[in-house]
Structure 1
Amino acid sequence: MMVSVRHASGKGADSRRAGSDGDGRPSLAFDAGTPYAEYGAITTLLSLQRTRTDEPAETTFLVSTQVMELLFALIRHEWEIARDALEADDVPVAVAALRRGASAQDVLIASWDLLGAMTPNEFTRFRDRLGEASGFQSYGYRHLEFLIGNKAEAMVRPHRADPGVRADLERTLRAPGLHDAALRLLHRRGLPVPAGRVDRDFTRPAEPDPAVERVWAAVYADERSDNDLLLLAETLLDTAERVTRWRHRHLMAVKRAMGAKRGTGGSSGMAWLARNAAVDVFPELWSLRTRI
């Protein structure tokens, strides 16, 4: 994505000078609404909290959902930059994007605090009005799962009625994930990455491979300060750890609000979330720690 920066001599600087009173106080006179509201589409944003019951906790639930979706989009943006940079042999850009993504992941994990105090009675009073709606159906989150290698073509199926969303998900499904792109980079650097992990069907998840673990172990054996591959490995692990934290916080929020009830979207609810939270992201980066 290209970012346009206005220099001091540009239109943006001119408008700031024109709006200033010259004594350090903020501008207060705007004939067509504030630039802040226009830039952030604030009026539109604040018109989207349409609850279905009179239960006060539903507002918290709805706002939390919308905040999470915005963060999913931001994290996807950073992860795709990182993946594409790895494909282009640009480790510094990839690491910078992953670090920005990790900061967004921290906010995403903390967003569960908004729901942490919701009681089972509060949730029950509006749960039925959700119908079959479930976070499992979030295509923003599905992009993230595909990018970390949790590929499953069946997960595109819920979005078949929206051709644009479906096509976008299929592109992410077919493309290398973050770990795929990292291993392809290691291969180009001369490390013995198995051929089946360099060129493969990216629509399918990759099984953990001891040979991949050995490759990463070789990266960790080089502790020179300028080993950019070691920095990449640790940054990928930062990302992976935060995914697991997110999954665990999701599990705890569900356990607290509804126990072992079946999920609104038809899943087994808490049991399904527990199985998902137990699966390591980028597993060879975790298992090599036993080897070292």
Structure 2
Amino acid sequence: MSEHRKPEDIVHAEGAQLDFSRAMSYGDYLQLDRILTAQKPLSPDHNEMLFIIQHQTSELWMKLMLHELRAAIECVSRDQLGSAFKMLARVSRIMEQLVHAWDVLATMTPPEYSAIRPYLASSSGFQSAQYRCIEFALGNKNAAMLKPHEHRPDLLAQVRAAYEAPSLYDESLRLLARRGLPMPAEYIERDWTQPYVESAQVEQAWLVVYRDPERHWDLYQLGEELTDLEDAFRLWRFRHVTTVERVIGFKRGTGGTGGVSYLRKMLDVVLFPEIWKLRTDL
């Protein structure tokens, strides 16, 4: 006759620990009390919880993205490309998560958003310090984007540090120069706060790599990692535009931007121009 055991007996039999009065639990390790009580809707509307969690989780993913991006830039500067490739691949996958997150927010209809919009005041994703650091790390430098953070010296310091540092692409070009590829001197040492300007000479250096991948295999792989990264970033931007248009149409953004019109301009920003142009010229 088989023995019938209660579910709690099975748990004990498998060696699971049930008493966490004197040990660190799952919730303790992840500080879930702080995370799960950080949602403070200001409106009486049911749908505001979606809006808050969408943006909070995006900020968490961006924190990881910055963690990986900064480390990848450092690795490229040290010729540690194997580690950099792993980090850049992870950044691209994070961006895919952010792309799909827009699918959830897109379930919010215009009337639902209109019910919570007055409670947002002038707060806007445009003011995200982490997002701005990502843009700067990827080379889209714009001094005007420092201003939204002037009210918070701690955040301003972080954003300014990203603004003044070489971008991922800057360090990639310096790497090509260290490998003996022809690189204009003004692209090796320059004012890193200035927007990147496309160069025919830089494209020629990349073409040397792409015309002989076996000889320059790790540089060739770097070029493709940059391509993957910008491809994912473009999808993220595009999904952002379509979601905003779906929810608010062409109204101005809460932060004072043109809303969809502003976001569409961002679609035209090319981060690594020579990497894309060489495909035509190969």
TM-score range, shorter chain: over 0.9
Give 2:37's aligned amino acid. Answer: S
- For 1:22 and 1:213, the matched residues in 2 are separated by 64
Identity %, equivalent residues: 37
- For 1:148 and 1:288, the matched residues in 2 are separated by 19
Aligned with 1:96 (options 86, 110, 117): 86
**Structure 2 gaps, min length 5:** 1-10
- For 2:146 and 2:22, the matched residues in 1 are separated by 43
> How many equivalent pairs are there?
272
Are residue 66 (structure 1) and residue 56 (structure 2) matched? yes
Give 2:222's aligned amino acid. Answer: L
Summarize deviations over 1:194-249 as a string: whole Å, max 9, x none. 11111010011111111111111111111218710001110111111111111001
Aligned with 2:99 (options 73, 87, 109): 109
Instruction: State which drifts further: 134-143 or 91-100.
Output: 91-100
Q: Partner of 1:196 in structure 2?
A: 186
Closer/same/farther in 2, CA of residues 33 and 51 from structure 1, 3 Å limit: farther
**Per-residue deviation, 1:33:** 7.2
CA contact (8 A) 1:243 1:281 kept: no
- For 2:120 and 2:128, the matched residues in 1 are separated by 14
Q: RMSD of the alignment, in Å?
A: 1.5
Q: Partner of 2:113 in structure 1?
A: 123
**Per-residue deviation, 1:23:** 3.6
Are residue 209 (structure 1) and residue 189 (structure 2) matched? no
Instruction: State which drifts further: 141-150 or 29-38.
Output: 29-38
Q: Partner of 1:184 in structure 2?
A: 174
**Per-residue deviation, 1:25:** 4.1
Question: The residue matched to 1:206 in structure 2 has which SS?
Answer: coil
- For 1:283 and 1:26, the matched residues in 2 are separated by 54
- For 2:74 and 2:62, the matched residues in 1 are separated by 18
Q: Partner of 2:266 in structure 1?
A: 276
CA contact (8 A) 1:143 1:172 kept: yes
Are residue 152 (structure 1) and residue 142 (structure 2) matched? yes
- For 2:215 and 2:17, the matched residues in 1 are separated by 49
Instruction: State which drifts further: 161-170 or 70-79.
Output: 161-170
Q: Partner of 2:236 in structure 1?
A: 246
Superposed structure 1 runs of 4+ greater than 2 Å apart? 21-26
- For 2:206 and 2:61, the matched residues in 1 are separated by 30
Are residue 233 (structure 1) and residue 238 (structure 2) matched? no
Q: Partner of 1:18 in structure 2?
A: none
Instruction: State which drifts further: 223-232 or 67-76.
Output: 223-232
- For 1:226 and 1:25, the matched residues in 2 are separated by 53
Normalized against structure 2, the TM-score is what?
Answer: 0.93
Instruction: State which drifts further: 107-116 or 266-275.
Output: 107-116
- For 1:32 and 1:60, the matched residues in 2 are separated by 35
**Structure 1 gaps, min length 5:** 1-20
- For 1:44 and 1:136, the matched residues in 2 are separated by 25
**Per-residue deviation, 1:34:** 5.2
- For 2:40 and 2:24, the matched residues in 1 are separated by 24
CA contact (8 A) 2:209 2:216 kept: no
Normalized against structure 1, the TM-score is what?
Answer: 0.90
Give 1:230's aligned amino acid. Answer: Y
Are residue 28 (structure 1) and residue 7 (structure 2) matched? no
CA contact (8 A) 1:260 1:270 kept: yes
- For 1:24 and 1:218, the matched residues in 2 are separated by 60
Q: Partner of 1:3 in structure 2?
A: none
Q: Partner of 2:35 in structure 1?
A: 45
- For 2:224 and 2:15, the matched residues in 1 are separated by 46
Are residue 222 (structure 1) and residue 212 (structure 2) matched? yes
- For 1:160 and 1:142, the matched residues in 2 are separated by 13
- For 2:271 and 2:193, the matched residues in 1 are separated by 17
- For 1:141 and 1:226, the matched residues in 2 are separated by 33
